[in-house]
Homo-oligomer: A and B are copies of this chain.
Amino acid sequence: MMASQEKKEQKGKRRGKQSVAYECPVYINASACIAGKKEGEGPLAELFDMIGEDDLFGCNTWEEAESSLQKDAVYLAMGKAGLDSREVQYLFAGDLLGQSIATSFGIMAYEIPLFGLYGACSTCGESLSLGSMTIDGGFARNVICVTSSHFASAEKEFRNPLEYGSQRPLSATWTVTGSGAFVLGKERGEHVRGAITGITTGKIMDYGLKDSMNMGCCMAPAACNVIYQNFIDFGRQPSDYDKIITGDLGSIGQRALIDLVAEKGYDISDNHMDCGMQIYDSKTQDTHAGGSGCGCAAVTLSSYILKQIEEKKWKRVLFIPTGALLSKTSFNEGKTVPGIAHGVVIESV
């Protein structure tokens, strides 16, 4: 048994330092996303499944509102996949709030075994990585990966009370109010959107930056590491991907990333895209460097990216949600803001 498993590993799964390649594609059989009012006024609005009329979504607190986003995104995604919650073996879920309370109170009612995750805004990539490994490893037939963020609960958690109306520097990003849920399956579903064929898992990278209002630059080294390592581990070039898509670097972080990757000998300036730069119209929506948050990458993946893959406009993308690892406490204690990123290779099927 040991021998056959070893052989399997060498043949198929493990690739280099940080990557795994799946023997069979892990299907993204359905997805759904819900977003807030501001996102609903942005360029991707017509692709969202649901848009809130206001950002409380009928709840009493911002945190409850964020929980309801996760709940509804999971509900819609399960419906599209034609699945009952009893047919889903695991939930992989997370958010940005302390002790992940948006998740705890959001997805409780489904009674699905839960793995709670924290990777800051990279959590969407982390959930798709662990979810797809769980399917490929033969531990589950269907799993759901869900993440969320909410502008107001995040400002309360990380920065100042909204009532202060604090000014934000141009390098700052705007936390997306939204949630995206993805149903991964071993068998190809009727309305399959794409497939995960491999992952490149990130490590924490710290270049010593401390500016929490310039998270794009704090996260760029982590994204660079994942992109570079993905090229090495899979023996690929930038041109092997139709798009290389980061989560929420924003316009300032994008410049840093392209420069960092260039130092490693690769030019990604032609096919790099950042979810944070897609979800808002920065000229008219006053969002400065772009969107951010666990919801940013998740909503953009469900609405825009998977549509291009479904329609085969893009054959293969490297999707890399990026996270800035900080808390109120770490910021107040003068710590740096390290970054982490999780790469997922998504292909059309």
Number of copies: 2
CB distance from A63 to the nearest CB of B (A): 6
B-facing mask of A91-106, CB < 8 A → 1, else 0?
0001011111100110
Query: A116-B117, A186-B5 in contact; A326/B105 too (CB < 8 A)?
Result: no
Residues A5 and B204 in contact, CB atoms below 8 Å apart: no
Partner-binding segment picked from A189-197, A250-258, A332-340: A332-340
Q: How large is the interface on A (under 10, 10 to 19, 20 to 34, 35 or more residues)?
A: 35 or more
CB distance from A84 to the nearest CB of B (A): 13
**In the bound complex, CA of A20 to CA of B97 (Å):** 30
Determine the main DSSP class of A at the interface with B: mixed
**In the bound complex, CA of A327 to CA of B120 (Å):** 17
Residues of A within 8 A of B (CB): 1-2, 5-6, 8-9, 12-14, 18, 20, 23-24, 61, 63-64, 89-90, 94, 96-101, 104-105, 107-108, 111-120, 126, 129-130, 133-134, 136-141, 156-157, 186-187, 201-204, 206, 325-330, 333, 335, 338, 340
Query: A108-B206, A133-B139 in contact; A24/B1 too (CB < 8 A)?
Result: yes
Residues A333 and B99 in contact, CB atoms below 8 Å apart: no
Residues A116 and B126 in contact, CB atoms below 8 Å apart: yes
Query: A130-B130, A133-B133, A186-B5 in contact; A113/B63 too (CB < 8 A)?
Result: no
Residues B326 and A99 in contact, CB atoms below 8 Å apart: yes
A6 surroundings in chain B (CB, below 8 A): 186
